[in-house]
Amino acid sequence: MTLLVVRGDREFLVERGEELHTDLGVLDVPDDAEPGDTLTTHLDEEFRVRELRGPDLFDHMERTGAPMVPKDIGIVVGNTGVCAEDRVLDAGTGTGVLSAYLGRMGADVTTYEIKPEFAEVARENMDLAGVAENVDVRAGDLTEHLDDVVEEGPFDVLTLDTEDAPEVVERAPELLASGGYVSVYSPFVENARAAAETAREAGLVEVETLETIQRRMDFDERGSRPTTKGIGHTGYLTFARTE
């Protein structure tokens, strides 16, 4: 299992038994290092050992594009109720942060990534997340395998982050169990609208598109206020479910 050794802003991924060279000296990671241990470099500088949690995965996974941010992953989970034992079908794996989060909740995830080299990176990222067992990263275009994938169903949740999401939404009634959810992530209004319209045409219910604006608060000795730095738009999330 890959661990994190941490000291202030310094964070390094390490394997047990590894020798890590840092600007604060060389760190020997013992074979029996455990989360919570304190390790010391040859210059006597201390690092803490940590197990990777969801936000650490977001920070340390190898990126093949802009990954879905924790805010949007959270909104997907909150609005679909993904849980352990759920069967999730995902398309547009990318870096795989969403798949890793869902896998870590005990869901059984099948995820399609159209670029084989990105799928390969995503597989390594699932290893890092400790979810290689329950996240199946497939290189390919889900829209070309829908007939077969329907046979593998039903799924409880469908999470889509691809431009051609509407083509999958059309088949959601066949792919999903009763009461199952589809979520579509769309950077642009037009895509979000197309997803919502396709969901309605496909007979899905509780169709809604949400935009979520998140701001950090600044608390200092002068007072409290939302940050003056601004936090930008990420994407719209469209949800719908089968009856």
Which residues inside 166-205 make contact with a second copy, applying CB under 8 A? 177-179, 181, 187-193, 196-197, 205
- Least Å distance, CB 206 to a second copy, is 8
b (16+ CB within 10 A) / e for 185-199: bbeeeebbebbbebb
Cα dist from 196 to 182, 184, 203, 208, 243, whole Å: 10, 9, 11, 7, 16
Q: Which residue carries 């241990």 as its tokens?
A: 37
Window 104-133: residues binding a second copy (CB under 8 A): 104-106
- Closest CB to a second copy among residues 124, 197: 197
Q: Work out whether the CA dihedral 79, 140, 104, 17 comes out positive or negative.
A: negative
- Residue range at the interface with a second copy (CB under 8 A); choices 23-31, 101-109, 119-127, 144-152: 101-109
Nearest residue (CB) to a second copy, 117 versus 214: 214
Q: Which helix (H) or strand (E) holds 129?
A: helix 116-129
User: By CB under 8 A, what part of segment 39-58 binds a second copy?
Assistant: 48-51, 53-57
Residues 190 and 165: their CA atoms lie apart, in Å, by 12
Nearer to a second copy, 40 or 214 (CB): 214
24 three-state secondary structure: coil
- Closest CB 121 distance from a second copy, rounded Å: 20
Closer residue to a second copy, CB minimum distance, 1 or 231: 231
**Nearest Cα residue to 111 out of 142, 75, 74:** 142
Pairing of strands 3-7, 176-186: unpaired
Query: Distance between CA 66 and CA 37 in Å, rounded?
Result: 33
- The distance of closest approach from Cβ of residue 51 to a second copy in the complex, given in angstroms and rounded to an integer, is 6
State the nearest-atom distance from the C-beta of 57 to a second copy, in Å.
7
Q: How many residues bind a second copy (CB under 8 A)?
A: 77
Q: Which of 25, 70, 140, 173 binds a second copy (CB under 8 A)?
A: 70
Stretches 24-32, 82-90, 112-120, 167-175: which one binds a second copy (CB under 8 A)?
Answer: 82-90
Min dist CB 79 to a second copy, Å, is: 5
For the bound state, the minimum distance from the C-beta of residue 36 to a second copy, rounded and expressed in Å, comes to 4
Q: Cβ distance 198 to 240 under 8 Å?
A: no
**Residue 3, beta-bridge partner list:** 14
